């Protein structure tokens, strides 16, 4: 019997196609599970429909309410293991033949063997070096290219002073077509009927929906931004939402690009003397280090990991954040970042970790709710991506499994790495009074709140010692307890 390859929305590229019959299902119910950013809903539907059009006569394409409307009772289905617990339960419940997962540099079996052999907590840096050693990625024999494994120190430059942008060319953008126009009409109709809850602006589609588009975006990144990616990887400018970032996370997570293809391309630029080692290593680290790492942790830590709450954070996310109402937020750093998410459905990693994540960490927003918000509001948000990034790295809700300390920072960090503070009514140097920075004051109030849980963490010894020396500790804590505006 001829098998039919059932592909999901994270499996839309060539690496999931071995020839033969294909099944692609657009499920309306999947859009109803939680509020979604308009740009994310548009991108997913556009990518699914473009893939169906590309496959032509080889595909069964169904637009239905539920997956089971199509797959229940069939005995011809095979599936590359999908990317969420819910999807894996579904494919097994209908009896599909399950193939090993794809779309990552390392396999689940290889990671399990590596992690099981470790004594104590597996560490991402050790994993990253192991991956490079076994694959030869960015290696000169047994040694790392450029003479060191890590160029993070060189890759933490603040934005250029008094610059409005990095001065780079505008990124390549896809052109919308009839499929996109059909998606927009459907979303308008469903939203008007109350069938879906969409948040954020309906702008032109900015992220790739096909492999062809994704490769053009990759070409553009290599040609115009790769060289500046490393130095300004952590920097932020109000007038430059893309900076030198690749904008490839969404097509990678849709399966339109294989990470090894991106890695090979950027390494070739370094070998040809066309790109600096710091920028290339930064991309390689993100792809075969961090991206593979959070993928494997999703399965290793288990489905219940999202319920972790080591710091007893139970505050609900404020409406202004939930609904991306930047105008209702006073603090310029958070307002600008949430405004960017509203407009694009995307923000770079420092905005996610050190602006939104830091704000949520300081105020004790519920980690499970934050995880769901990140999944719904970002075009590259998936159930496997966010737990380690949000629950672990951003909110330290796992107590130190992913990160070795809470990634909390005061206004000095924001002032150094962004231009947000110059346009804010709060002063990053002030922690008490009417112009007290909510990030600076929030940092100390956070340490006061969680001191019992983190006092045994050696990396927090110095910050906690600083907290104990504060002469106005009680006043700062009381001020932040009373602060209601964002």
Residues 198/38, Cβ–Cβ less than 8 Å: yes
Give the separation between CA 437 and CA 229, rounded to whole angstroms.
Answer: 30
Residues 6+ apart with CB under 8 A from 209: 43, 46, 47, 50, 174, 180, 254, 256
Q: What is the pLDDT of residue 71?
A: 96
CA distance 278 to 218: 18
Q: What is the pLDDT of residues 378-394, one digit of tens each?
A: 999 999 999 999 999 99
pLDDT at residue 421 greater than cutoff 80: yes
Neighbours of 382 (CB within 10 A): 19
pLDDT in tens, 185-200: 999 999 999 999 999 9
386: helix, strand or coil: helix
pTM for the model stands at: 0.97
Q: How many residues does the chain have?
A: 486
Give Cα 177 distance to the centre of its chain: 27
- For the beta carbon of residue 357, count every other beta carbon within 10 angstroms: 24
pLDDT of residue 345: 98
Burial label for 40, CB within 10 Å (0-12, 13-18, 19+), is buried
The tokens for 31 are 């859009």
How is the beta sheet containing 4-7 ordered, strand by strand? 59-64, 21-27, 4-7, 77-80, 97-99
Average pLDDT for the chain: 97
Tokens in use for 204? Answer: 């032109």
Mean pLDDT of all residues in 418-441? 97
58 token code pair: 């080889």
The owner of tokens 């999947």 is: 30
Rounded CA gap, 171 and 340, in Å? Answer: 16
Residues 6+ apart with CB under 8 A from 63: 26, 28
H or E stretch covering 296 = helix 292-301
What pLDDT score does 465 carry? 97
């Amino acid at each position: 019997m001829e098998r039919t390859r059932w592909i999901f929305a994270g499996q839309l590229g060539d690496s999931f196609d071995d020839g033969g019959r294909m099944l692609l299902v657009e499920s309306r119910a999947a859009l109803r599970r939680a509020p979604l950013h308009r740009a994310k809903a548009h991108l997913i539907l556009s990518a699914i429909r473009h893939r169906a059009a590309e496959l032509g006569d080889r595909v069964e394409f169904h637009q239905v309410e539920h997956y089971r409307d199509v797959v229940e009772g069939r005995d011809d289905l095979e599936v590359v293991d999908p990317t969420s617990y819910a999807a894996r339960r579904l494919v097994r419940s209908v009896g599909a033949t399950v193939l090993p997962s794809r779309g990552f540099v390392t396999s689940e079996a290889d990671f399990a063997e590596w992690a099981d052999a470790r004594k104590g907590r597996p560490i991402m840096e050790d994993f990253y070096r192991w991956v490079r050693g076994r694959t030869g990625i960015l290696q000169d024999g047994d040694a790392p290219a450029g003479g060191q494994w890590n160029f993070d120190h060189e890759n933490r430059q603040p934005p250029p002073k008094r610059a409005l942008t990095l001065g780079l060319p505008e990124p390549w953008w896809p052109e919308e077509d009839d499929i996109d126009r059909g998606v927009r009409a459907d979303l308008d109709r469903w939203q008007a009927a109350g069938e879906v809850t969409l948040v954020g602006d309906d702008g032109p589609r900015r992220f790739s929906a096909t492999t062809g588009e994704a490769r053009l975006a990759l070409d553009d990144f290599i040609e115009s931004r790769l060289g500046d990616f490393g130095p300004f990887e952590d920097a932020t400018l109000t007038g430059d939402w893309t900076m030198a970032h690749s904008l490839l996370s969404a097509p990678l997570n849709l399966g339109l690009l294989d990470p090894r293809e991106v890695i090979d391309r950027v390494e070739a630029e370094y070998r040809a003397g066309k790109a600096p080692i710091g920028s290339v290593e930064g991309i390689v680290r993100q792809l075969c280090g961090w991206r593979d790492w959070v993928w494997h942790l999703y399965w290793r830590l288990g489905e219940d990991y999202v319920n972790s709450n080591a710091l007893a954070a139970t505050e609900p996310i404020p409406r202004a954040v939930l609904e991306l109402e930047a105008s209702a937020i006073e603090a310029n750093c958070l307002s600008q970042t949430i405004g960017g998410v509203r407009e694009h459905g995307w923000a770079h990693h420092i905005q996610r970790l050190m602006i939104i994540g830091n704000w949520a960490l300081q105020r004790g927003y519920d980690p499970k709710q934050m995880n769901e918000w990140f999944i719904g509001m970002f075009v590259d948000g998936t159930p496997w991506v966010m737990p380690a990034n949000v629950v672990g790295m951003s909110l330290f809700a796992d107590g130190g499994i992913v990160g070795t300390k809470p990634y909390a920072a005061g206004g000095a960090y924001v002032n150094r790495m962004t231009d947000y503070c110059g346009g804010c009514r709060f002063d990053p140097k002030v922690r008490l009074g009417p112009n007290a920075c909510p990030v600076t004051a929030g940092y100390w109030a956070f340490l006061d709140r969680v001191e019992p849980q983190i006092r045994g963490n050696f990396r927090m010894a110095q910050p906690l010692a600083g907290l104990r020396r504060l002469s106005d500790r009680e006043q700062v804590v009381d001020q932040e307890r009373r602060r209601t505006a964002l």
